[in-house]
Amino acid sequence: MTNMNTPLLELKNIGKIYVSDSNVSVGIRGVDLTFSKGEFVAVTGKSGSGKSTLLNVISGMDTYEEGEMLVEGEPTSHFLQKDWEEYRKQYISFIFQDYNIIESFTVLQNVELALMHIEDPGKRRERAMELLRRVGLEKHVRHKGSKLSGGQKQRTVIARALAKDSPIILADEPTGNLDSQSSKEIIRLLREVAEDKLVVVVTHNFEQVEDYATRHIRIFDGAVELDHTIRPTTSVRDHAPMPEASPMVSNTARKTANTLRNGLVLGRVRFGATPKLSVFLCILMTVTALVLALVTSFTYDSRSLFSERTMFTHVEGRTVIVRRDGQIITDEELEKLAADMGAENYLHYDSMLDRTVGVSFEDAENGRVQWYEVSFGYPASDVKLDAGRYPEKDNEVVLEVPISFKNHLGQDGFEETVFPLLFEMATYKVVGVSYYYDNSRTPRMLFSENGYRIASAIAFFSNQRYNFGYNIELSVPENETVYHTSMQGDTYIDFDLPSKTYYANDGSITAFLADMGIGKEGAPEREDVLIHTVMSGNFFNYQYYYDHSYGGGYGNGIIVDVVKPGYGEESTVQHSFDGYTMVWDVSEGMKQDLETRYYERWQEGSGISNAGFMVLSPDILLEFMYEHYYTQAYTQASLFFENDREAHGKVERLRELGYTAVVSDETIEPDVFEVLEEKLNAGFNAFLFLMAIVFVTAFLSLCSSRAMNATRGDIAIMRSMGIPTTVVRISIYVQTLIALIPATVITAITCAVVYMLPQTNYLFPFLHAGDYILIASMLILVALNLSRKYVKRMFSDSVKKTLKGGSKA
């Protein structure tokens, strides 16, 4: 391509003017010069005569307005920014007065920077060392730029200029800041190492270069005043094409890969070279990540914008069935169906799986009562226990709760100390716990098989209990007197009560008893079944103040069999006293036991109406529920298959058998208003989330702008060296993205610790995998945005301006 006769550089009538504000000043004018390889040109002239302008035009850092510059015969007046960049990359090495090495990089890194065209890092290192030996810096390769003397810096720059192996080396007063001894050495070195290149040295001290220069050009007032050959140029070996294979030949993909790799390497080097900036970035990114996590955590509601609702509580493999003919499924039918369908398990009265109930726990530490919504779980063997055992008795439960419950339950000994009260209707004993970290999950209470049945009955009954009325009509066979008592609402399930026992009291009963002559000597005693009128609204007083005046005993006991209350309507079924047995007294031990157990309720007066309340044994309740609800009205049941996929596979077969089956992962369209409210709420949260992101981004660029500006000079140097802009851009992105690594690790650890500690778990809504992906994406977006702004600022000014602005000279 290159003709031997074509000069390397040809300047034809070049003119450059500077227009600043309203001032127009001439940089250079009418410059006609031709340069060849092997020349060592000294340019002198007074300050302001245009020497630097000449070099800047030659280097392509400044454009010219007049004339034409030919590079190996090719005109350049039509060059665009990227052409100049390519030109600089291939042809130019620039040496400045104030060194322009990257102070935060080591000598070696500074030189390697110019060797990016060598792909193999080992070879790159080797070549850098070789060049540093040539400039006599082999002992200082690991020193940081900032630690070097002026002469050492300029040697580094020379090594760097050689590393590029470009045909043209331009030096603008390279020895301006050095003493005369070092100056001479630098010039000699330059001559030595750049024998076959075109070297143009601007100097105001011609004597320094006199011994080496082949040509002397003096500039006066922007024009060439003298152009004088001093000695012949060194013979130049035939100039091979540029060290880099010409861009036409090189494979684009390979080039891209190399650019990317160089960007990565440079980013990494930059990250390590400026530890303060890097640490600052890491801290900034960590804070950002933590804020994002926090914001994500507290706006978790916004995710329900996209969430779907299931018709039933989702339990893996659970399928809810009803008969299509509307008939009630019998126990036998369900058992057989489960076996036929290959279900792992089944649950007949499954409504409690889809409900939550309020449960109060007494805090083991401060004794405060805490309320929680819990759902029922079954079977208990579903969960892995962290402590305790599985329930054996009906009133024993396993709690599956967030780790923060450790505070409430106490670290150990919960079995002895904690008694949650279910609906205030029954007392349960916690025998085992299973902790989890996801505090967005509803806590569960898990029971034994029969315990689940009873608990379901209690839960259902407690919801409905104000629909039950008891109107007990007692008639005395002997005198035909009829007594009434009624009760409503307050029902307690006592697991220790003998079966078929029912207690009630009312003034009328008392009167009735008196009429019956109960409390008198010789009344019949029965212990198999009993009703004891435990209390009325002010039973306690009654008991204590009226005891002695009331026949001198605890004489309020009557015994009947199960009272059959009505269901679903106000006060109903009447009970005839006929046929019921009664005894006079309960044993002293039992009475005291009851008093102790219900003492606090009496004291508080909570839930005790004047109508009195009923204490039932679980068996009585269950019997009632079976008789009046389960076998009369409850049509649903659940089958449990191995997983949802298998469950879906069974739906068709169940249909054929006459059932409607819904796998519990199926979603439904909920109520319009509910959706609206939920979406509004979610939308508001999403808005908050976005606001937070915007705020964080603004805050971040505010914080980092100064720190990043500090490296502005370095970037300009890299560009002046002809490092491709893309590589520099990538390196900026890489630098910020590297800071994400510690930020991510720290945030992950923080989240893990926060969620694992009982003391902090409940403070922050739990983050799920999707949330972490969201946080990561936001973090990356924030980092990219920051880098983008930084890049934009770094490349907004021309290299020359940045370098001049940054120079101390």
Footprint on this chain of ligand ADP (rule: CB under 6 A): 18, 20, 25, 27, 45, 47-53
Residue 479 contact among ligand ADP, Mg ion, none, beta carbon within 5 to 8 Å by kind: none
Residue 49 contact among Mg ion, ligand ADP, none, beta carbon within 5 to 8 Å by kind: ligand ADP
Residue 45 contact among ligand ADP, Mg ion, none, beta carbon within 5 to 8 Å by kind: ligand ADP
Kindly tell me which of 25 and 576 has the beta carbon lying closer to ligand ADP. Answer: 25
Instruction: Count Cβ neighbours within 10 Å for each residue of 164-198 and write b for 16 or more, e otherwise.
Output: bbbbbbbbbbbbbbbeeebbbbbbebbbebbeebb
Least CB distance to ligand ADP at residue 729 (A)? 25
Is the omega angle on the peptide bond into residue 379 within 30 degrees of 0, that is, cis?
A: yes
Whole-number Å distance between alpha carbons of 69 and 11: 5
Kindly tell me which of 54 and 472 has the beta carbon lying closer to ligand ADP. Answer: 54
Q: Which own/partner pairs from 692-695 qualify as long-range (CB within 8 Å, at least 24 positions apart)? A: 692/291, 692/292, 692/295, 692/299, 693/292, 693/295, 693/778, 693/781, 693/782
Residue 25 contact among ligand ADP, Mg ion, none, beta carbon within 5 to 8 Å by kind: ligand ADP
Whole-number Å distance between alpha carbons of 746 and 728: 28
Least CB distance to ligand ADP at residue 50 (A)? 4
What DSSP string runs through 764-797? SPPP-HHHHHHHHHHHHHHHHHHHHHHHHHHTTS
Kindly tell me which of 223 and 328 has the beta carbon lying closer to Mg ion. Answer: 223
Whole-number Å distance between alpha carbons of 355 and 26: 87
Kindly tell me which of 51 and 140 has the beta carbon lying closer to ligand ADP. Answer: 51
Whole-number Å distance between alpha carbons of 171 and 157: 10
Whole-number Å distance between alpha carbons of 483 and 475: 6
Q: Is the dihedral of CA 105, 108, 109, 111 positive or negative?
A: positive
Kindly tell me which of 15 and 410 has the beta carbon lying closer to ligand ADP. Answer: 15
Residue 724 contact among Mg ion, ligand ADP, none, beta carbon within 5 to 8 Å by kind: none
Least CB distance to Mg ion at residue 691 (A)? 52
Least CB distance to Mg ion at residue 138 (A)? 32
What would the 3-class secondary structure string for 248-294 be?
Answer: CCCCHHHHHHHHHHHHHHHHHHHHHHCHHHHHHHHHHHHHHHHHHHH
203 binds Mg ion (CB under 5 A): no
What DSSP string runs through 661-709? EEETT-EE---HHHHHHHHHHHHHHHHHHHHHHHHHHHHHHHHHHHHHH
Kindly tell me which of 53 and 152 has the beta carbon lying closer to ligand ADP. Answer: 53
Selection from 250, 238, 172 nearest residue 204 by Cα:
172
Residue 453 contact among Mg ion, ligand ADP, none, beta carbon within 5 to 8 Å by kind: none
Residue 27 contact among Mg ion, ligand ADP, none, beta carbon within 5 to 8 Å by kind: ligand ADP
Which stretch, 45-53, 141-149, 579-587, 782-790, contacts Mg ion (CB under 5 A)? 45-53
Least CB distance to ligand ADP at residue 752 (A)? 56
Which stretch, 50-58, 211-219, 310-318, 386-394, contacts Mg ion (CB under 5 A)? 50-58
Whole-number Å distance between alpha carbons of 579 and 505: 19
Least CB distance to ligand ADP at residue 791 (A)? 24
Least CB distance to ligand ADP at residue 53 (A)? 3
Kindly tell me which of 52 and 638 has the beta carbon lying closer to Mg ion. Answer: 52
Least CB distance to ligand ADP at residue 716 (A)? 15
Residue 761 contact among ligand ADP, Mg ion, none, beta carbon within 5 to 8 Å by kind: none
Kindly tell me which of 94 and 733 has the beta carbon lying closer to Mg ion. Answer: 94
CA dihedral (747, 751, 753, 756) in degrees, to 10, reads -160
59 binds Mg ion (CB under 5 A): no
CB 16 within 8 A of CB 53: yes
Kindly tell me which of 52 and 152 has the beta carbon lying closer to ligand ADP. Answer: 52
Least CB distance to ligand ADP at residue 795 (A)? 18
Least CB distance to ligand ADP at residue 281 (A)? 33
439 binds Mg ion (CB under 5 A): no
Selection from 244, 265, 234, 18 nearest residue 121 by Cα:
265
52 binds Mg ion (CB under 5 A): yes
User: How do beta strands 614-616 and 502-503 pair?
Assistant: antiparallel
Residue 73 contact among Mg ion, ligand ADP, none, beta carbon within 5 to 8 Å by kind: none
Kindly tell me which of 94 and 630 has the beta carbon lying closer to Mg ion. Answer: 94
505 binds Mg ion (CB under 5 A): no
Contacts of 231 by beta carbon, 8 Å cutoff, 6+ apart:
213, 214
Contacts of 536 by beta carbon, 8 Å cutoff, 6+ apart:
505, 506, 507, 542, 610, 611, 612
Kindly tell me which of 226 and 511 has the beta carbon lying closer to ligand ADP. Answer: 226
Least CB distance to ligand ADP at residue 36 (A)? 24
Which stretch, 48-56, 326-334, 499-507, 551-559, contacts Mg ion (CB under 5 A)? 48-56
CA dihedral (115, 119, 122, 127) in degrees, to 10, reads -30
Least CB distance to ligand ADP at residue 153 (A)? 21
Least CB distance to ligand ADP at residue 45 (A)? 5
CB 656 within 8 A of CB 375: no
CA dihedral (407, 409, 411, 415) in degrees, to 10, reads 180
Which residue is closest to Mg ion by CB?
52
Residue 787 contact among ligand ADP, Mg ion, none, beta carbon within 5 to 8 Å by kind: none
What does the block give as tokens for 802? 């940045």
Residue 3 contact among Mg ion, ligand ADP, none, beta carbon within 5 to 8 Å by kind: none
The site for Mg ion (CB under 5 A) is made up of: 52
